Amino acid sequence: MKKHNFSAGPSILSDYAINNTIDAIRDFDGTGISLLSISHRSKEFQAVIDEAGALVKELLSVPEGYSVLWLGGGASMQFAMIPYNFMRSRAGYLDTGTWAHNAIKEARLFGQVDVLASSEAAGYTYYPQLGQDYTIPEGLDYMHITTNNTIYGTELRDDLDAPCPLIADMSSDIFTRYVDVARYDAIYAGAQKNLAPAGVTLVIVKDEALGRAERPIPTMLDYRTHVKKGSMFNTPPVLPIYTALQTLRYYKQIGGIKELMSRAALKSAKLYEAIDNSAMFEGTARETDRSLMNVTFVMAPPFKNLEKDFIDFCAGRGIVGIKGHRSVGGFRASLYNALPMESVDALVEAMSDFESTHR
């Protein structure tokens, strides 16, 4: 039975990336050595990390003066690295969900954090809008945003027009839209959504923004360490970086960000239409702020007792990973770049068939 994997992460990857990684595990670049055993100092792996960085810059049109880093520790490590490196005294944060909330907690260890807006009181069901829900004060060292909120299904798909440097956690929607990188001092993304297996974090950092915070920074937590050594200060996560390269090659081959944007729009529109036209299912996020990556929905009140039955029904059709996050329940269908429209069609059909059976 074909599986339709809607997992929020680690998530589905393209067959291209998976198959090329399998081949490299057996024999990396014709060396006769497995990717799992190759020296990260070898010229063959140096070529991998060089090409991966170049493709990130090409696909996202990264301007001059920025470095691409491949780091361990996940996006959660960046919650501390960001204020360590960028906060001098005061930063602004938007509280739009669990991961933004965690980032705020870490930043408060380093200085004053102004929470400019929060949607927590509304269950994080909307994304606060600049000029409507908040303004950005003067004197901030930077403003931090989480562009996509995987648990609650909200997303900001336009770059903010901010009077201060921006820093963004784009873990779950990077490579799904055009980004004006020049507006940001740093962008970071855990790879396990749209790029690679868990184990590596992509960081795009503005070189001239580093070194302004007047505090001692541990060597491994100082971005300058990794910029200087080209992400090779210590042994990098070799396998996920190699898979990231394959994903980036695949993105370029299919048409880059333009094509990825189109696919994301079509997949999410089809699923949201099915939810909106259903008497059994209803969306949870404000319509104007709905995520294109993580579609969150629940059973309408008369059908609440059928949630587990629907999950079991989907499993019988090979549809997996749609159970909502444990903190909110309901359902979550993650439509990351590698998920084919075929899988969305399968889920929509399952929703229709289940509703017909139980109405």
- Supply the residues annotated as catalytic: 99, 169, 193
Q: Is 336 helix (H, G, I), strand (E, B) or coil?
A: coil
The CA-based angle 194-263-307, given to 5 degrees, is 75
CB neighbour list of residue 118: distance below 8 Å, 6 or more residues apart: 94, 95, 96, 128
Can you list the alpha helix ranges (DSSP code H) found in the chain? 15-26, 43-59, 74-86, 98-107, 223-228, 238-254, 256-276, 307-315, 341-358
Angle, CA 273 vertex, CA 340 and CA 352 arms, to 5°: 80
Phi, psi for 86 (deg, rounded to 5) = -115, -25
Taking the CB of residue 94, how many other CB atoms lie within 10 A of it? 25
- The dihedral through the CA atoms of 28, 44, 204, 179 has a sign that is negative
